[in-house]
Chains A and B, each alone.
Chain A
Amino acid sequence: MRRSARFGAALLGVVLGVPACSGGEGPGGAQDRITLSYAVWDNNQKPVMEELGREFTRTHPNVTINVQFAPWTDYWTKLRAAAGGGAAPDVFWMNGPNFRLYASNGMIRPLEEEIVRDRVDLSVYPRPLVDLYTLGGEHFGLPKDMDTIGVWYNKTLFDARGVAYPANDWTWADFQTAAARLTDPARGVYGTAAMLGGFQEYQYNTIAQAGGYVISPDGGKSGYDDPKTIAGLRFWTDLIKAGRSPDLVTMTDTLPLQLFEAGKVAMYWGGSWNVAEFSANEYTRDRVDVAPLPRGERQATIIHGVANVVSARTEHSEQAWQFVKFLGSERAAGILGRRGPIPAYTGTQGSWVSAHPEFRLRTFVDAVAYGVPYPVSVNTAAWNEAELTYLARAWTGEVPVEKAATDLAAAMNALLSKE
């Protein structure tokens, strides 16, 4: 007790002391040189971001970029507190699920005027990514990178069962046949794993492929009671029921990714971001490759990407915009692609594709042609939670998928009406 009290007093001293100290560095010290803070959540990309910051300083000698890293789990908590207190970083990474929350609450700056003034060509980015960061007809950010989904498959398991590797134009039926033939109960091998906790890689794709939708384009209505959406969900529950996928209990104990990397699952729906993991893992390095997602009623993949946005309260809005513009440029994309995710700038993906010739990475870039935007609303996280709560009951088989989906639609509509 005594110690904690002393600690409390010390903490209090720190809290009270801080404003007194920081009051010293007034505007008097600021000449022409300014520092822009740039918040990112991926530690692996921090060096590339710093390199891009130095590149920017070369053409804007009076601006220094201070890259601030916060791990994913803290990033949004910190950012929200900082933004609420008017102290958000000048420039920061934004993702789809959080974008409308920040844009509709006036936390990030519309860049419409600057885009028109500087004649920035937005057609160099995939359309779904530009739309993802547009609200009320205004653009708020420039896309930085992107990711699409593909079917990672284990060639060794395909060879063992004499199944032909997936063709580029394969269909749902082809996928289901392959899953059936690859399933080998004697060795505990499943054709695929119908993961529940990864909507971006699983459900959202099959929903779009079935011709359904998750949320209406105006963001007001859930699509989960649409029969086509339900067909996209049933695709997965049927695979579990037929034993082509482990059941939910098994996938909770051992994640599908772990099962795939242990040679227990033959086909894993994963993102372009899995490249780093699969090329580093000794087992998967020589055994896996990637194919496009199979075609349902139509061909589709979820496309998502991070954008760079400017804080609404920044004191250096012009410099911040110049930096965002630079980050969205062809030159910056070239630097990013060599060492990071797929750059969003069309035509700059070559360096990313050739970094790992052992995988057919072109698949992910080609998939952009039929990319479907990641579904979002203002408070996306609220119904993301409902998706899991309701669909878990269908995944275990406790409730028929139609019932779980219509219940989910009702819950989601209630949440959307509160936005």
Chain B
Amino acid sequence: MTLTTGSDAARARRDATPQGEPRRVGGRGRGRAIEALWGYAFIAPTGIGLAVFYLWPILQTAYFSMTEWGFFGGHTWTGFDNYTRLLRDPEAGQALINTLGYTALGLVAIPLAIVFAALLNQKGLRGVGVYRTLFFLPVVTMPVAVAMVWRWLYNGDYGLINYVLSLAGVEGPSWVADPATALYALAVVGIWSSLGYNLIIFLAGMQAIPREYYEAAQIDGAGRITQFFRVTLPLLSPTAFFVSVISVIGSLQLFDLVYAMAGSGLTARANPAFPRLQTVVHLFYDRAFVTNDRGYAAAIVVMLFLLIIAMTAVQFRLQRRWVHYA
């Protein structure tokens, strides 16, 4: 901020210079260079941090994805071997399918969050603070704690969910151990945990919509439902776009929930539903830290990185069709 105001001020001063006065061209050039230098100095802490902790590791990972690692460091160049292996690895294929499935299911969280946000945004609603806190609680709870509680809820024999179902005479499955239900069970937890965060963003988006639009709609005879669909939703679309980009990226990187719910490390594979729960990042973890196959693990994350870029680019292209900027 300081930089832009600084240069604006400089421009303003410059414009104020009377036409006839001779310009000190060289001097202003030096001033600019110094100004730029200061600019770089100010962004240096962030820039260096970003370069050292983000950009450099990304480049390194890309390089390592074309090598094979020794157990204690040291690597040999193998070209595209890891990538050809990745394309033929059925486990990687399944992990990708699972991850995409989870991502698609995760998008359900968006309409859900909008509905809850609309309900919480009503004028004169009592105890809004309490509701907001309740919805936001899962966001601030540790994912591992969340997973443990849900694991218990999902337990086939002793879980609360199946107990409630048994009252209605239904025998529920072992939710996270049954290949048919595991991914859905996981997605429910994911949606539940992210609901609060999305909701807060949507609430903020709704409160930024000017009152006048609603008043105008009312005068035109629109009821509350019509107002929601014709005023709120279109004006909320930029927020929805932001949330969908963030949530797709988050879903593609899913790890902790699987790690905590399927069973950690090797023991996860004793879960018969594990082939349906394995995500790309979880596979990366297994290769990098369990089976000592780090070059291959690097190839997995490079592919994931490219996939995330591609999916985000697609979303940016598609936004033209549905996002309205007021």
Chain A interface residues toward B at CB < 8 A = 2, 5-6, 8-9, 11-12, 73, 77, 80, 83-85, 101, 105, 107, 188, 195-197, 248-254, 379, 381-382, 384-385, 388-389, 392, 395-396
B174 and A252 within 8 A (CB): yes
Interface residues of B in 263-287 (CB under 8 A from A): 263-267, 269-274, 286
Binds A, one of B47-55, B57-65, B96-104, B304-312: B47-55
* A250-B174, A392-B272 given; A5·B46 CB < 8 A: yes
B178 and A249 within 8 A (CB): yes
B119 to chain A, nearest CB (A): 31
Q: Given known contacts A382-B291, A392-B269, A392-B272, what 8 new A-B pairs fall within 8 Å (CB)?
A: A8-B50, A8-B53, A9-B48, A107-B72, A196-B270, A249-B178, A382-B293, A388-B266
Q: How far is the CA of A107 from the CA of B292 in the complex (A)?
A: 16
A262: nearest residue on chain B (CB-CB)?
B158
* A84-B72, A107-B72, A197-B267 given; A381·B49 CB < 8 A: no
Q: Does B71 contact A (CB under 8 A)?
A: yes
- Which of B154, B270, B292, B293 has a CB less than 8 Å from the CB of A248? B270
Q: Does B177 contact A (CB under 8 A)?
A: yes
Q: How far is the CA of A389 from the CA of B158 in the complex (A)?
A: 27
B70 and A105 within 8 A (CB): yes
Which chain B positions have C-beta within 8 A of A248? 177, 270, 272
Q: Does B45 contact A (CB under 8 A)?
A: yes
A382 and B292 within 8 A (CB): yes
Q: How far is the CA of A395 from the CA of B271 in the complex (A)?
A: 10
- A-B CB contact pairs (8 Å), 12 listed: A8-B49, A73-B265, A80-B71, A80-B72, A105-B71, A188-B157, A248-B272, A249-B174, A252-B176, A252-B177, A252-B263, A395-B272
Which chain B positions have C-beta within 8 A of A379? 71, 291-292
A253 and B45 within 8 A (CB): no
Of A5, A249, A253, most B-chain CB atoms within 10 Å: A253
Q: Does B27 contact A (CB under 8 A)?
A: no
B268: nearest residue on chain A (CB-CB)?
A388
A385 and B72 within 8 A (CB): no
Q: How far is the CA of A410 from the CA of B267 in the complex (A)?
A: 22
Interface residues of B in 54-113 (CB under 8 A from A): 70-73
Q: How far is the CA of A396 from the CA of B73 in the complex (A)?
A: 39
Of A2, A83, A252, A396, most B-chain CB atoms within 10 Å: A252
* A381-B292, A382-B292 given; A250·B157 CB < 8 A: yes
B48 and A252 within 8 A (CB): no
Chain B interface residues toward A at CB < 8 A = 45-46, 48-50, 52-53, 70-73, 154-159, 174, 176-178, 263-267, 269-274, 286, 289-293
A385 and B270 within 8 A (CB): no
Which chain A positions have C-beta within 8 A of B289? 77
B78 to chain A, nearest CB (A): 13
B269 and A388 within 8 A (CB): yes
Which chain B positions have C-beta within 8 A of A77? 289
* A83-B72, A101-B71 given; A253·B174 CB < 8 A: yes
Q: How far is the CA of A85 from the CA of B274 in the complex (A)?
A: 35
Q: How far is the CA of A85 from the CA of B286 in the complex (A)?
A: 22
- Which of B53, B156, B266 has a CB less than 8 Å from the CB of A249? B156
Q: How far is the CA of A84 from the CA of B290 in the complex (A)?
A: 17
| 5 nearest A-B residue pairs (beta carbon) | A8-B49, A197-B270, A388-B269, A84-B72, A252-B177
B270 and A388 within 8 A (CB): yes
B272 and A385 within 8 A (CB): no
A385 and B269 within 8 A (CB): yes
B269 and A252 within 8 A (CB): no
B293: nearest residue on chain A (CB-CB)?
A382
B155 and A253 within 8 A (CB): yes
* A379-B292, A381-B292 given; A254·B155 CB < 8 A: yes
B49: nearest residue on chain A (CB-CB)?
A8
A84 and B49 within 8 A (CB): no
A389 and B174 within 8 A (CB): no
Which chain B positions have C-beta within 8 A of A80? 71-72
A12 and B263 within 8 A (CB): no
Q: How far is the CA of A388 from the CA of B269 in the complex (A)?
A: 6
B272 and A252 within 8 A (CB): yes
B156: nearest residue on chain A (CB-CB)?
A253
B270 and A392 within 8 A (CB): yes
B211 to chain A, nearest CB (A): 32
B149 to chain A, nearest CB (A): 14
* A83-B72, A249-B177 given; A5·B270 CB < 8 A: no
A5 and B50 within 8 A (CB): yes
B45 and A385 within 8 A (CB): no
A254 and B263 within 8 A (CB): no
A9 and B49 within 8 A (CB): yes
Which chain B positions have C-beta within 8 A of A384? 266
